[in-house]
Each structure stands twice: as C-alpha cells, then as structure tokens.
Structure 1
Amino acid sequence: MKTFVKMTIAAAALTLAGAWSASAEEIKVGFSPEAYPPFYSQDASGKWGGWEVDITMAICAEAKLDCVLTPIPWDGLIPALKSKKIDAIMNSMSITAEREKEIDFSDKYYNTPTAIIGPKDQKFDATPDGVKGKILGVQVSTVHAAYAKKHFGGIAAEIKEYQTQDEANQDLVAGRIDATQADSIALDAFLKSDEGKACCDLKGYVAPDLEVLGPGVGAGVRKGDTELKDKINAAIKAVRANGKYAEITKKYFDFDIYGDDAQSN
C-alpha cells in the first residue's frame, strides 16, 4: 500500500511538473538596467518596476510564458538577442526598418511622440531652426539619435551621445548641453522631478518621420522565431481586449499610451 501511495504521489508530481512545463515556457527578456521612469525604475531593494515591467509581465502571463527580466546594456540588447543570451527584448525599443534588418518585432504595445526639452530661460522649438547652433544630447543607439543626426546634423552645434538618457538629463541640468531629445513620456517624468522642475521645460515635439521613428514600440525577437512572436502578438491583443492593459496604464498615466497608427515614437 505504501509503495502504491509513493508511486501515486510521484506520478502526480511528474504530472504537475509536466503541466507547468507545458503551460509556462521560460524566456529571458532583455532590458537595459537604467532608470527610465515611468517605464523602468528600481526600488531600494533592487527590484525593477514601472509601466513597462507591469505590461511585460501581463503579456507574459497571458502568453503562458515564465519571463525572467535579464539586464543587458542598451547597445548590447540586439547582439545578446541574436547570440541567444536572451529570447526577447521589451525595453521601449521602437520598431524601425533598420532594426528589422537584424531582428523581428511583435506588434506595437505603445506609441508616444518624441520631444525636446531645454532650459526654461531659453526660447526655442523642436525644429531645425530651433536647435540651430545648440548642443543636443541623445541616448546612443536609439531612434532619437538617428533622428537627430538625420534632421539636425550640421545644424546643431553638436549632437552629443550618452550611454543613458539620465546622463543626458544630468548634463542638461549642469548646463553642458542646451537640449535633449527623447520619448515624451520619459522626458515628462524628468520634468516632474525636482531637478527637472527647476531647470527645464518642454520645447515641443519633433516632426514625424515614420522611417526613422517607426510605428511604435514592440517586443524584439530573433529572426524567424514566429512561434514566440505569435504568442506575444496574441497576448498584446488579449490584454488590450480584457482590460488588463487599461488597468495597468491607469496606475501611471491619465491617457491611453497605446496611441494611434499616425503617431511616431
């Protein structure tokens, strides 16, 4: 009888393990370990949170994926994906034709405008004439760096690249650059900080350029990984339809960050 009970328990354990394995495939989701509120931020214990973390986990739960956040420097995310160190990227990475030469993308899961901010005591706008003769800071290997080089190169005094957006913000506060360009939501979070309130304001939104800025932010996956891409796409649609996307978004924003197809990011 004891032998039968042991065998039954063992069989049940194997069944449960098999069911978990079948229902929750583990994937490593790459992100750049830098403060990018309200999308990514780290608490005192070292735990990462924010809108994009919450949305990533909601998408993973819907897709029955056991997602493990895996820190990788921003400019190493695509190489890490291609070399199979990670399985996906969910880190405010815009879908662009240039990046699609190297990796595939899911459908977009958000899309917001691109903005320029600068010192309060300087009057200029987010146009070539506005940034003429100014030092413009951007984060390296981003669509904002590509946009600035295309539209402001040879017009701005210098396009200065930084490893993180926070470094560009700090140089703006210190007066080492005249302006910085990035996602409008991330810059809005900075402008609401004590440093941002004291120094800077919004100068405007850059003109759309779908070729450079892309149609929005998607999850990056390896070329040909259609199974994972299809799971993520289905999950994005599901969390939009079942209200989970709106529930999470309301914690951080007073508008729908999903945007429409005409917006650029």
Structure 2
Amino acid sequence: MNKFSNMVIATVVSLGAIGCSVPSWAQQPLKVAGQDVQPWVFHDKNSDSLSGVFVDLINAIAKDAGLPVQYQLMIFGDLIPALASGKIDVIATNMAITPARAQQVDFSDPVYNAPTEVVVVPANDTTAYQGLADLKNFPVGAQKGSIQLALLQRIGGFSEIRIYDTLEDAWSAVVSGQIKAAVTSGPDTIYASKHGRLTNLRIVSSYQSQSPKPRIGIAVRKGNSELLERINRSLAKLEADGTVKAIFVKNGVDDWAPPK
C-alpha cells in the first residue's frame, strides 16, 4: 500500500489574493485525497505524477481560489474516516453524494451525474441477468465504502457479500471464482472495459439498474462552510467558462462531461 501513502503531489498557489485574515485550514497546503482509479485520479507512470479529472479540477479550483493544495492517494473506504479525523481536508474523487455520506461530510455542488452501478461476471458467463435478484443465493462482492456495497446490503438475500479495498480486487475475485459477480461503480468499470482492463470479464449489458444516476461531488469536513463556499464559487466559475467540460474532454470522458 506504499503507493497510497507515499504518492503526494503538491500544487502551491499564492495566498496573496486571500488577504491578511486567513483561516487556520488555509495557512498550509490543503490535503486533498482520492482513490487510485483511472480516469479520475491515478499515478501516471510516464510522468511519475498524479493525473486525472479530479487532479486537473482541484488544480483549477486551487488556482482560481488562491489555495495551496497537496494531492494524495488513499483507499476509497478510508477517505471519509480520514476527512473526519483531520488527516485530510478535502475528498476529490469519483464519490457519489448520498444522504448517509452527507451526515458525515459536506458536499460541493454536483460536478457531474455518473452512470449507475454495473454488474461484472466472468466472460464465459453468458447469462442475461436482469437485476440483482437474479444473483440472490450466490456470493457477490463490492468495494469497501461504496454505494454499490450499500445497495447489496440493503437488498440482501445473497449467500455472501464480500468486501474489497479496490475495484481491481473485486474484479479479480470474479475471475478466480471467489464470487459470482461484482457490483461496481459504473463510470470506473465502463472506462476500464473500454481500455481493455477487464481481462476475462464482461459487463452484463442486460442488467437494468433501479438506482438513480449518482451525483458526484467534492467533500469537505462537516461544518467547514468557508472552504465549501470557495470550492463552490470556483466550481461554478469553471463550469460557466467551459473549463470543467474541457477537463473531462482532455481525460477522455466526453460523454459524462457536464454542460458548459
């Protein structure tokens, strides 16, 4: 797990525009974290740096708001606990806004609306699963802390629900036969499939989700209204001038780009 704890990229922006009165959280670089999943936040081996939609977006927000930031990678399920404990200041990754999470953190205005969850099975399993009820009495899996895990736990009826730290771990469990299927994030899984990273797996095209499209937002510690206001103000400006859409296009996810 060293890559999660050691990969930190700093973007330092002058605080001159903020003025003399600076809140304590703005007196040193904001610690921003996301999980290592393309195309949102990932370690680019070619440049040996962090890249992705949310890295670009946070850098643009930091520049506009006059805030210094440090970006680091963490396991998805550890993000909210790290924010609550003060280990990080901001979560900027592909995290859906939900009522349960909103009790623990404060979310920005939505960045974009994501595709719903998908079901991943072995490539040689040609069953036309229609819904999660078709998987009842079988072992299934999902990522720790994900809305997909919450969905499986709410529905119930599976022989076992296994929890994995990363999406890759969940997909590998399907390949190895530990679980019948993995229920994982739509955008993350669709992107991986398009780029040939779902080896010996397939996304069930017949699956019909009953979930609403997740709204993805940036999270700050509960009660940090001033930081949230700055993020929202900059986000609105960057959406209006087309910067957010350009970031999505640059990272190859044009289909999910918010309108200008």
On whether the aligned pair clears a TM of 0.5, the verdict is: yes
Q: CA deviation at 1:111?
A: 2.0
Q: Which has the larger radius of gyration?
A: 1
Q: CA deviation at 1:20?
A: 6.3
Question: How do residues 40-119 of structure 1 correspond to structure 2 at under 5 angstroms?
Answer: 40-44=41-45, 46-112=48-114, 113-119=116-122
Residue identity opposite 1:160 in structure 2: R
Residue 220 of structure 1: aligned partner: 219
- Mapped contact 1:94–1:217 kept (Cα < 8 A): yes
Question: How do residues 123-142 of structure 1 correspond to structure 2 at under 5 angstroms?
Answer: 123-142=127-146
CA spacing shift, 1:129–1:29, aligned 2, 3 Å: same
CA spacing shift, 1:28–1:195, aligned 2, 3 Å: closer
TM-score, with length taken from structure 2: 0.80
- Mapped contact 2:139–2:181 kept (Cα < 8 A): yes
> 3-state SS of the aligned residue for 1:68?
strand
CA spacing shift, 1:30–1:199, aligned 2, 3 Å: closer
Structure 1 range deviating more: 107-116 or 118-127: 118-127
Q: CA deviation at 1:125?
A: 2.5
Gap runs ≥5 in structure 2? 1-13
Residue 121 of structure 1: aligned partner: 124
- Mapped contact 1:173–1:196 kept (Cα < 8 A): no
Count of residue pairs brought into register by the alignment: 235
- Mapped contact 2:32–2:90 kept (Cα < 8 A): yes
Residue 240 of structure 2: aligned partner: 241
Give the distance between the partners of 2:163 and 2:40, measured in 1 at CA. Answer: 21
Residue identity opposite 2:239 in structure 1: R
The structure with the largest helix share of the pair is: 1
Residue identity opposite 1:256 in structure 2: W
Percent identity reads 27
Give the distance between the partners of 1:100 and 1:79, measured in 2 at CA. Answer: 13
Residue 167 of structure 2: aligned partner: 165
Gap runs ≥5 in structure 1? 1-16, 260-265
Give the distance between the partners of 1:199 and 1:86, measured in 2 at CA. Answer: 35
Q: CA deviation at 1:124?
A: 3.1
Residue 6 of structure 1: aligned partner: none
TM-score, with length taken from structure 1: 0.79
Q: Calculate the aligned-residue CA RMSD, in Å.
A: 2.5
Question: What do the CA deviations read for 1:56-90 (whole angstroms, capped 9, x no partner)?
Answer: 22222222222211333333322222222211111
